[in-house]
């Protein structure tokens, strides 16, 4: 794509990201709703503030990622890279948010007890199996078709997910124990769900679609929605 065209796309997406940031900029209502949907029935003001801080750490980066990612995609030769800006923005926004979670708090905050947790405390085993199947299928397809650019996308998504899950698992504890676990699990599951659907979605850019890839995409999308959906059992597991 000519440079002036990709610059125009990047600017438009950056403005779109700015609109999303303004519309979705979290307040107390958003933080409370997040916690209630994940099984914290009566979050305190401190809990809500922690959830709002969690959301702000991710959404603040949306306009900048929307602006930069099409330029980076075009630079590495990914055709129609702007189609994937939303997925990469959410993935990388989550990664930045987890990195910021390691930063010491600016003021006094209630700290959760950091119990030993495993990956399956954040992402259920069935979701991890679906992720492994999706990534493996995407890698096999890319190798067989010698589509090295999309191979990089598949592996890149897998690496980002691994980083998000590891950071969510090991970052310092903050807030009430149930709230702390809910926010960790949400980060890990959002990244996992997006990475499940990406390999199946890549063949949809082909000029000749067949029934098989379309069905795989639909199944992968349904699996991703199941992974992304709030799980009210997570909060209960924090005190189990």
Q: Which residues of the chain have pLDDT under 50?
A: 1, 3, 79, 81-82, 110, 113
* pLDDT tens track for 110-153: 455 456 778 999 999 999 999 999 999 888 888 888 878 778 87
HEC string for 121-185: HHCCHHHHHHHHHHHHHHHHHHHHHCCHHHHHHHHHHHHHHHHHHHHHHHCCCCCCHHHHHHHHH
Rg for the chain (alpha carbons), in Å? 19
Q: What is the pLDDT of residue 206?
A: 53
Cα dihedral across residues 122, 159, 155, 4: positive or negative: positive
Could you give the C-alpha distances from 149 to 76, 77, 189, in angstroms and in order? Answer: 8, 7, 25
pLDDT at 237: 79
Q: Give the 3-state secondary structure of residue 192.
A: helix
Distance CA 195, CA 135 (A): 8
- For residue 216, what pLDDT is reported? 81
User: How far, rounded to the nearest angstrom, does the alpha carbon of residue 139 sit from its chain's CA centroid?
Assistant: 20
Q: What is the model's pLDDT at position 16?
A: 76
The pTM for the full model equals 0.82
What pLDDT shows up at residue 229?
A: 92
Torsion of CA 155, 158, 164, 170, to 10 degrees: -110
């Amino acid at each position: 794509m000519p440079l002036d065209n990709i610059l125009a796309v990047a600017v438009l997406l950056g403005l779109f990201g700015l609109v999303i940031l303004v519309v979705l900029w979290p307040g107390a209502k958003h933080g409370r709703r997040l916690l209630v949907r994940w099984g914290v029935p009566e979050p305190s003001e401190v809990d809500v503030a922690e959830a709002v801080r969690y959301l702000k750490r991710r959404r603040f980066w949306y306009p900048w990622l929307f602006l930069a990612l099409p330029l980076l995609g075009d630079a590495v030769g990914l055709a129609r890279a702007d189609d994937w800006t939303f997925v990469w923005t959410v993935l990388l926004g989550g990664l930045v948010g987890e990195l910021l979670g390691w930063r010491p708090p600016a003021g006094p905050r209630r700290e959760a007890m950091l119990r030993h947790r495993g990956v399956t405390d954040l992402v259920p085993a069935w979701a991890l199996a679906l992720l492994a199947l999706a990534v493996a299928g995407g890698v096999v397809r890319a190798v067989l078709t010698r589509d090295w650019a999309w191979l990089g996308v598949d592996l890149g998504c897998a690496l980002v997910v691994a980083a998000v899950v590891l950071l969510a698992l090991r970052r310092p504890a903050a807030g009430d124990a149930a709230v702390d676990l809910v926010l960790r699990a949400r980060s890990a599951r959002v990244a996992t769900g997006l990475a499940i659907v990406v390999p199946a979605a890549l063949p949809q850019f082909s000029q000749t679609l067949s029934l098989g890839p379309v069905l795989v995409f639909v199944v992968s999308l349904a699996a991703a929605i199941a992974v992304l959906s709030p799980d009210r059992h997570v909060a209960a597991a924090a005190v189990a």
